[in-house]
Amino acid sequence: MAETPFKISIPQALLDRLQQKLALTTLPNELDGSGWDYGAPLADVKRLVARWMDGYDWRHHEAQLNQLPQFTRPISVDGHGTLDIHYIHRKSEVEGAIPLLFVHGWPGIFLEGSRIVPLLTAKLDDHPSFHVVVLSLPGFGFSEGAKKPGFNIAQYAEIGNKLMLALGYNEYVTQGGDWGLAVTRRIAQLYGGKHSKAWHTNMVFGEPPADFDPTTLTPEQQAALARTEGLMKKGMGYRHQQSTKPQTLAYAMTDSPVGLLAWIYEKLVAWTDRYNWTDIEVLTWISIFYFSREGPVGSFRIYYEAMGNETMAMQAFREAPAPEIPLGLSHFPGDLVVVPKSWSRMMGNVVFDSEVHDAGGHFPAYEQPEALAGDLRQMFGKGGPAYGVVPGKSGY
Active site residues: 178, 303, 362
Residue 254 neighbours by CB under 8 Å, 6+ apart? 260, 295, 296, 297
Residue 226 CB neighbours (<10 A): 10
User: What is the total residue count of the chain?
Assistant: 396
Buried-state track 210-222, b at ≥16 Cβ within 10 A, e below 16: eeeeeeeeeeebe
Break the chain down into helix, strand, coil percent, rounded to 5: 45, 15, 40
Cα angle vertex 188, ends 139, 393, to 5°? 105
Strand partners, 174: 101, 199
